[in-house]
């Protein structure tokens, strides 16, 4: 990881335009670091170089995030917590924040949980509470994806004690599981899976942030403010939307190499979960012109990744329920062989809710 971190900021050092040879961004390596088997000819002087364009604001923001812990490449990323741990911690020094609409919150919620809107969280964290007085602040939503997205943003803002509850309220009580995760499970598109290995395109550019600010901290503050003001209504996308016309999207698969090769959304490109975010040559190969759809097994990791990419200006969305939403039966059948995480009744508890 140290070598990769050095490479990341060697490429992101304070410059606007970086020239790199096309071979360095070709993606002709497998997930375990071994050669893919396809030979790549050496670049000659007659072959054109690809030009990697990194906006100065992007460079400053990347450097600021790295100097403040590089959360997305740390051992605590993604910051998920099981519902059973939350239940055991009730009555202790924790704060549970329920992000569901008020109407759902009123039908039943975790004891002592406070109901907050996504948009009001920054000001509430600054003036409404003293965040670091709590051992843990746990974000809760219906299925765990909004809370994952929110947790990533808050962690990047410096709140290092925030967690997202895995599976959301669906893991807390069967009442919510029936209305949530169990409705989202489907094997509808298993026959349409693609097994072609799609290589990452050459690294070209990242979005221009355009805040007009001159320090990484100021740029980050402006970007976080914008993301919270935009709300959370446009951060998820469904399998039906994606499979209707997958060519319309730049689709990122965040699974292991063997899982990706066994079947993925048509056209999806595999990016390594632990070597993409914050690495300029990887991020610059992601399209700035298309909506970026990110997916993983459950939608939790992809929601964290979505938050990071949106911070850097990408029109990114996380696939609701992840692989569970389109190849659920296959996941169940191959659960042991490929270590899939299909949601099941075993993930549901019978914990008390209050009104």
Q: How many CA atoms lie within 13 A of 308 on its CB side?
A: 26
Contacts of 310 by beta carbon, 8 Å cutoff, 6+ apart: 227, 235, 316
What pLDDT, on a 0 to 100 scale, did the predictor assign at position 46?
39
Residue 53 banded pLDDT, cuts 50, 70, 90 = confident
pLDDT-based confidence at residue 34 (cuts at 50, 70, 90): very low
User: Taking residues 50-55, what's their average pLDDT?
Assistant: 81
Residue 43 is predicted with a pLDDT of: 34
Cα dist. 249→242, 244, 265, 283, 321 in Å? 8, 11, 11, 16, 18
pLDDT tier at 50 (50, 70, 90 boundaries)?
Answer: low
What SS3 state is found at 59? helix
Rg of the chain taking only CA atoms, in angstroms: 21
| pLDDT at residue 312 in the model | 98
Residue 45's pLDDT band (cuts 50, 70, 90): very low
Domain ranges (residues) in the chain: 2-67+188-207+233-333, 73-184
Question: What pTM, to 2 d.p., does this model score?
Answer: 0.86
Q: Is 284 helix (H, G, I), strand (E, B) or coil?
A: coil
Q: Across the strands, what pairs with 236?
A: 318
Of 31-45, 94-108, 145-159, 193-207, the range with the lowest mean pLDDT is: 31-45
- Segment 190-228, tens digit of pLDDT: 999 999 999 999 999 999 999 999 999 999 999 999 999
Query: For residues 36 and 295, which has the higher predicted lDDT (pLDDT)?
Result: 295
pLDDT confidence tier of residue 51, bands split at 50, 70 and 90: confident
Q: Specify the CATH number of the domain 2-67+188-207+233-333.
A: 3.40.250.10
Q: How far from 288 is each of 20, 203, 249, 307, 310, CA to CA, in Å?
A: 19, 11, 11, 15, 11
pLDDT in tens, 131-169: 999 999 999 999 999 999 999 999 999 999 999 999 999
The CATH class, in words, for 73-184 is alpha beta
3-state secondary structure of 183: helix
Distances (CA, A) of 170 to 11, 83, 180: 42, 9, 6
């Amino acid at each position: 990881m140290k070598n990769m971190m050095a490479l990341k900021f060697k490429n992101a050092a304070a410059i606007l335009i970086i020239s790199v040879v096309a071979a360095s961004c070709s993606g002709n390596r497998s997930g375990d670091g071994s050669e893919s088997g396809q030979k790549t000819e050496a670049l000659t002087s007659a072959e054109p170089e690809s030009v990697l364009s990194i906006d100065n604001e992007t460079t400053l923001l990347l450097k600021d995030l790295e100097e403040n812990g590089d959360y997305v490449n740390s051992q605590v990323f993604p910051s998920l917590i099981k519902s059973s741990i939350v239940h055991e911690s009730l009555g202790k020094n924790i704060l549970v924040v329920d992000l569901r609409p008020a109407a759902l919150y009123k039908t039943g919620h975790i004891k002592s949980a406070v109901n907050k809107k996504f948009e009001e969280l920054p000001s509430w964290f600054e003036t409404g509470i003293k965040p670091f007085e709590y051992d843990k602040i746990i974000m809760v939503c219906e299925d765990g994806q909004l809370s994952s997205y929110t947790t990533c943003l808050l962690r990047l803002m410096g709140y290092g004690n925030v967690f997202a509850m895995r599976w959301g309220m669906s893991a807390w009580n069967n009442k919510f599981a029936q209305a949530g995760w169990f409705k989202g499970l489907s094997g509808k598109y298993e026959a349409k899976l693609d097994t072609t290995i799609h290589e990452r395109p050459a690294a070209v550019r990242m979005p221009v942030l355009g805040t007009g600010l001159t320090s990484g901290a100021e740029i980050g503050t402006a970007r976080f403010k914008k993301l919270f003001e935009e709300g959370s209504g446009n951060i998820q996308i469904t399998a039906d939307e994606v499979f209707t016309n997958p060519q319309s999207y730049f689709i990122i698969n965040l699974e292991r190499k063997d899982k990706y090769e066994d079947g993925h959304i048509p056209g999806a490109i595999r990016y390594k979960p632990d070597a993409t975010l914050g690495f300029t040559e990887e991020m610059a190969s992601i399209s700035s012109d298309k909506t970026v759809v990110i997916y993983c097994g459950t939608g939790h990791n992809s929601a964290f990744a979505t938050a990071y990419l949106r911070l850097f200006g990408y029109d990114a969305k996380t696939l609701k329920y992840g692989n569970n939403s389109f190849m659920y039966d296959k996941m169940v059948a191959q659960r042991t062989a490929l270590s899939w995480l299909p949601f099941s009744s075993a993930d549901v508890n019978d914990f008390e809710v209050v009104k």
